[in-house]
Structure 1
Amino acid sequence: MIVVSAASGALGRLVVARLLTRLPARRVAAAVRDPARCADLAALGVDVRRGDYDDPASLRSAFRDAERLLLISSPELAAERRTRQHLAAVEAAVAAGVQAVAYTSFLGADRDGGGMNAAHHATERAIVDSGLGYTLLRHPFYTEAFVNPGLRDAVDVGRLTDGTGGRGLNTALRADLAEAAANALTDEAHLGHGYDLTGPLWTYPQLAEALGEVTGRRVELEAGETPGPLGFLVGLARAGALERQTDDLCRLLGREPTSLR
Structure 2
Amino acid sequence: MIIVTGATGQLGRLAVEHLLARVPAERVGVSVREPGKAQDLADRGVRVRQGDFDDPASLAYAFEGAARVLIVSGPADAAPHRTAIEAARDAGAGRVLYTSHMGANPASPFLPMPSHAETEQDLRASGMPFTALRNGFYADTIVRVIGQGLRSGEIVAPADGPVSWTAHTDLAEAAAVALTEEGRLDGVTPPLTGPEALDLADIAAIASELTGREVVRVTVPDDEWVAGMVARGIPEAQARFMLGMYEASRQGEFAEVGPALGDLLGRKPTAFRDVLAAALAT
Which bracket does the TM-score occupy, shorter chain normalised? 0.7 to 0.9
Question: What is the CA-CA distance between 1:187 and the residue it aligns to?
Answer: 1.0
The corresponding residue for 1:244 is 256
| SS of equivalent residue, structure 2 residue 252 | coil
Is 1:105 aligned with 2:100? yes
Does the aligned pair in 2 maintain the 1:65–1:97 contact within 8 Å? yes
Could you tell me how far 1:18 is from its partner in structure 2?
Answer: 1.2
Q: Report the Cα offset of residue 162 of structure 1.
A: 4.9
- After TM superposition, the score normalised by the length of structure 1 is 0.85
Corresponding residue number in structure 2 for 1:90: 85
Q: CA deviation at 1:103?
A: 0.9
- Secondary structure at the counterpart of residue 3 of structure 1: strand
Contact 1:163 1:238 in 2 (8 A): no
- Distance verdict in 2 for CA 1:255–1:193, change over 3 Å: farther
Structure with greater proportional helix content: 2
Distance 2:215 2:103 in 1: 34
Q: Which moved more, 1:207-216 or 1:220-229?
A: 220-229
Equivalent pairs: percent with the same residue? Answer: 39
Using a 3 Å threshold, how does the CA distance of structure 1 residues 107 and 150 change in structure 2: closer, same or farther? closer
CA RMSD of aligned residues (A): 2.4
CA 1:66–1:184 in 2, change beyond 3 Å: closer, same or farther?
Answer: same
Shift of 1:108: 4.5
Is 2:106–2:118's contact at 8 Å kept on the other side of the alignment? no
Q: Which moved more, 1:4-13 or 1:132-141?
A: 132-141
- 2:131 alignment counterpart: 135
CA change 1:113–1:102 in 2 (3 A) is farther
Kindly indicate whether the alpha-carbon contact (under 8 Å) linking 2:38 and 2:48 is maintained by their aligned counterparts in 1: yes
User: SS of 2:143's equivalent?
Assistant: coil
Offset, 1:155: 3.8
SS at match of 2:144: coil
For the structure 1 residues 216 and 108, does the alpha-carbon distance in structure 2 shift closer, same or farther, using more than 3 Å as the test?
closer
Match of 1:158 in 2: 153
Q: 2:205 and 2:112 mapped to 1: Cα distance?
A: 32
Please state how far the C-alpha of 1:150 moved relative to its aligned partner: 4.8
Worse-superposed segment, 246-255 or 154-163: 154-163
Superposed, 1:209-224 pairs within 5 Å as 209-224=205-220
Deviations 1:200-238 (A, max 9, x none): 211222212211221222223333355544443233323
After TM superposition, give the deviation of residue 136 of structure 1 in Å: 1.1
Gaps of 5+ in 2: 230-238, 274-282
Q: Report the residue type matching 2:95 in the other structure.
A: A
Q: How many residues align?
A: 253
CA distance in 2, matches of 1:51, 1:30: 9
Question: In 2 relative to 1, CA 33–205 (structure 1 residues): closer, same or farther, beyond 3 Å?
Answer: same
The correspondence of residues 35-114 of structure 1 with structure 2, limited to 5 A, is: 35-75=35-75, 77=76, 79=77, 82-83=78-79, 85-109=80-104, 112=106
8 Å CA contact 1:69, 1:100 repeated in 2: yes
Cα pair distance change 1:61/1:113, threshold 3 Å = farther
What is the CA-CA distance between 1:149 and the residue it aligns to?
Answer: 7.8
1:233 to 242, 245, 248: 245
Change (3 A) 1:116 1:231: closer
Between the aligned partners of 2:87 and 2:32, the Cα distance in structure 1 is 15
2:267 counterpart residue number: 255
Q: CA deviation at 1:182?
A: 0.9
Residue in structure 2 matched with residue 121 of structure 1 by the alignment: 117
Deviation at 1:197, TM superposition (A): 2.2
The CA distance in 1 between the partners of 2:123 and 2:256, in whole Å, is 25
- Find the counterpart in structure 1 of residue 176 from structure 2: 182
Distance in structure 1 (CA, Å) of the matches to 2:215 and 2:51: 46
- Contact between 1:113 and 1:121, CA under 8 Å: does it hold in 2? no
State the Cα distance separating 1:129 from its structure 2 match.
3.3
Question: SS of the counterpart of 2:270?
Answer: coil
TM (norm. structure 2) is 0.80
Q: Taking structure 1 as reference, are residues 185 and 161 closer, same or farther at Cα in structure 2, changes over 3 Å only?
A: same
* CA–CA distance in structure 2, aligned partners of residues 9 and 210 of structure 1: 28
Unaligned runs of 5+ in 1: none
Matched, 1:192 2:186: yes
Cα distance between partner residues in 1 of 2:107 and 2:156: 33
For residue 28 of structure 2, what is the aligned residue in structure 1? Answer: 28
Closer/same/farther in 2, CA of residues 15 and 223 from structure 1, 3 Å limit: same
